[in-house]
Structure 1
Amino acid sequence: MHITLRQLEVFCEVLKSSSTTQASQMLSLSQSAVSAALADLEGQLGVQLFDRVGKRLVINEYGRLLYPRAVALLEQTSEIEQLFREDQGALRLYASSTIGNYILPAMLAEYRREHPNLPLELSVGNSQDVINAVVDFRVDIGLIEGPCHMPELISQPWLEDVLVVFAAPESPLLREPATLASLATAPWILREKGSGTREIVDYLLLSHLPQFQMAMELGNSEAIKHAVRHGMGISCLSRRVIAEQLASGTLVEIPLPAPLTQLKRTLYRIHHRQKHLSTALERFLSYTPEA
C-alpha cells in the first residue's frame, strides 16, 4: 500500500465540496486527476469512501473513519514544511569551557530574545571534546580556543581574546615588577591538558620561562579562580573569565615583562567539511559577543 499525501488532500477536499468538480478547482487540478486520485485511494483501501447520490458524493462510514486521521497527517505535513521553510531546525553547538561559560551566555540571551521559539542545544567541554563531537557529526558547529588542524574539519577565526596572568592581592609577585625568573619560581595553577587555554598558555607564556613550578592542574576556570584567590598560586586565564574579580579587586593582574607583553589568542569556530551550515546557524553566528 502506498497512500500519498496528494490522495489524502484530494479526499479531504472532495469531502468539503461533495464534488470532484469543485475539488479540482480548489486544488488547481483537472477533474479527471481528482477522480483518479480518489479512485486510487479507494482501491488501495479496498472500500468506497463516498456514496454516489446523483452528482453528489456523500461521505459514508469509511470516509468518516478516515477523515480525522487524514486531516491530522496533512496538518503535521504543513507543520514540517513551515518548520523548514523558516529554517527553524534545532541548533546543536559545542563550546570549550571558556567560550561556553563566559562568552556564549550573553549571545544566547540576545538570540533568544529575538527568536524565542527556535530550539538550541549547547554542550560545554574542553577543546578536544568539542573537536571529537564535530568530527562525529554529533553537533553542527564547535567553538574552541585554538586552531584545529584535522583535515576533515574547517577551522575559521571567530573572535580575538586576551589572556591575563593574575594573583591574589597579597601575592609577593605584586610587590615589585615581575621578571621571567620570578614567574618561573611561582607556583602555577593551570587548566588540564586538552584544554584550549592550557595549549595557548604553554605556547605563549610558559615556553618563555626557563622552568616553571606546577602547583596543580584543575579542570575548570572557576576552581582555578578560587585557588588563586586563596593564595595557592598564580594562573593565566582569559580576561573575560576574571573580569568581575579584577573589577572588584579580589584578583589582580600581574604586568608581564618583555618579551611577553600582551598575550593574545584567536578563538575559532569549526565544522565538518561535509556539514551544511543552515540559515539559522549563520544567523546565530552573526551575533557578536561583547569584548
Structure 2
Amino acid sequence: MHITLRQLEVFAEVLKSGSTTQASVVLSLSQSAVSAALADIEGQLGVQLFDRVGKRLVINEHGRLLYPKALALLEQAGEIEHLFNHDNGSLRIGASSTIGNYMLPAMIADYRLDFPHTPLELNVGNTNDVINAVSDFRVDLGLIEGPCQLPELITQPWLDDELVVFVAPENPLAGRVVSLESLAREPWILRERGSGTREVLDHLLLPQLPDFNLVMELGNSEAIKHAVRHGIGISCLSRRVISEQLSSGSLVEIRLPVAPMVRKLYLIHHRQKHISGALSRFLTYCREAQ
C-alpha cells in the first residue's frame, strides 16, 4: 500500500467541497487528476469512501472513518513544512569546558533573545570529547581549546585565550616573578590529559620545568580553583576562568619569566555537515564575539 499525502489531500478536499470539480479548483488540479487520485486511494483501501448519488459524492461510513486520520496526517505534514520553511531546526553544540562553562552562557543567552524558539543543546567535555562528537555527527558545531588535525573536520581559528599560573594569596610566590626552578618544585594541580588546557601546558610550559612536581589531575576547572585556594598546590588555567577570583584577590597570578602563554580557540564542524540557517546564525554570533 502506497497512500500519498496528495491522495489524502484530494480526499479531504472532495469531502469539504462535495464534488471533484470544486476540489480541482481549490487544489489547482484537473478534474481528471482529482478523480484519478480518489479512485487510486479507494482502490488501495479496497473500499469506497463516497456513495455516488447522481453527480454528487456523499461521504459514507468508510469516508467518515478515514477523515479524522487523514486530517491528522495532513496537519503533521504541514507542521513539518512550517518547521523547515522557517528553518527552526534544533542546534547541537559541543564545547570544551573553558568555553562551555565560562564563555558560551552569555552568547547563548543573547542568541535565545533573538531566536527563542530554536531548541539548543549544549554538551560540555574536554577537547578530545568534542572532536569525537563532531566527527560522529553527534553535535553540529564544536568549540575547542586547541587545533584539530582530523581531515574530515573543518577547523577555523576563533579567539585568543591567555593561560595564567596562579596560587592562593597565602602562597609565598603570590604576585612575584618566579624562576622556572621554583615553579618546578611547587606541587602542581593540572587538568586531565585530553583537555585543551593540558595540551597547551604540555607544549609551552612543562617542557621547561624538568622533574616538575605533579600531585593531582582534575577534570574540572572549578575543582582546581578550590584545590588551589585551599593551599594544595598551584595551577594554570585560562584567565577567563579565574578572572573573578583574580579581581577579588582569592587567587593571585604568578608572573612567569617566559612569554605570555596565548593559545587559539577554534570552531570545528564536519566537512559533510549541512550548514543550516540555525547553525549559520549561531556562527555569526561566534564571530561577533571577537
Percent identity of paired positions between Structure 1 and Structure 2: 74
Q: When the two structures are superposed, what TM-score results if normalisation uses the length of structure 2?
A: 0.95
1:244 partner letter: E
Cα gap change, 1:227/1:146 in structure 2, threshold over 3 Å: closer, same or farther? same
2:188 aligned with 1:188, yes or no?
A: yes
What is the alpha-carbon distance in structure 1 between the residues aligned to residue 204 and residue 75 of structure 2? Answer: 58
Query: Which residue of 2 is the match for residue 272 of structure 1?
Result: 270
* CA gap 1:44/1:175 in 2 versus in 1, 3 angstroms: closer
Partner of 1:45: 45
1:290 CA displacement: 5.6
Distance in structure 2 (CA, Å) of the matches to 1:188 and 1:280: 42
Cα 1:102–1:118 shift into 2, 3 Å: same
Whichever residue aligns with residue 104 of structure 1, its letter is L
1:42-81 mapped onto 2 (5 Å cutoff): 42-81=42-81
User: Structure 1 residue 169: deviation in Å?
Assistant: 0.9
User: What is the distance in 1 between the residues matched to 2:102 and 2:175?
Assistant: 30
Matched with 2:256 is 256
Matched to 1:187, the amino acid is: P
Q: CA-to-partner distance for each residue in 1:139-196, whole Å, 9 max, x for gaps? A: 2222111001112222111222111111111111126422222222222111011111
Instruction: Give a deviation string over 1:220-272, Cα, whole Å, max 9, x none.
Output: 10110001111111111011111111111101111222xx2321111112222
Moved more, 267-276 or 58-67: 267-276
| Residue-pair matches, total | 289
- TM-score between both structures, scaled by the size of structure 1: 0.94
CA gap of 1:30–1:290, structure 2 versus 1, over 3 A, is closer
Q: Distance in 1 between matches of 2:183 and 2:32?
A: 87
Structure 2's unaligned 5+ residue stretches are none
CA distance in structure 1 between the aligned counterparts of 2:21 and 2:167, rounded to whole angstroms: 83
Letter matched to residue 57 of structure 1: L
Q: Let me know the Cα RMSD of the aligned residues.
A: 1.6
1:115-194 equivalent positions in 2, closer than 5 A? 115-174=115-174, 176-194=176-194
* Structure 2 counterpart of 1:18, one-letter code: G
The alignment partner of 1:26 has SS state of helix
Counterpart AA for 1:99 = I
CA distance, structure 2, for counterparts of residue 282 and residue 239 of structure 1? 29
Bigger Cα displacement from structure 2, 235-244 vs 181-190: 181-190
**Post-superposition shift, 1:280?**
0.7
For 1:137, what is the secondary structure of its paired residue? coil
Which residue of 1 is the match for residue 85 of structure 2? 85
1:192-225 deviation digits (Å, cap 9, x = unpaired): 1111110011212222334422121111101100
Following superposition, which runs of at least 4 residues in structure 1 exceed 4 angstroms of deviation? none
1:284 corresponds to which letter in structure 2?
A: F
Letter matched to residue 2 of structure 2:
H
Which secondary structure does the structure 1 equivalent of 2:188 belong to? strand
The answer on 1:286 being equivalent to 2:290 is no
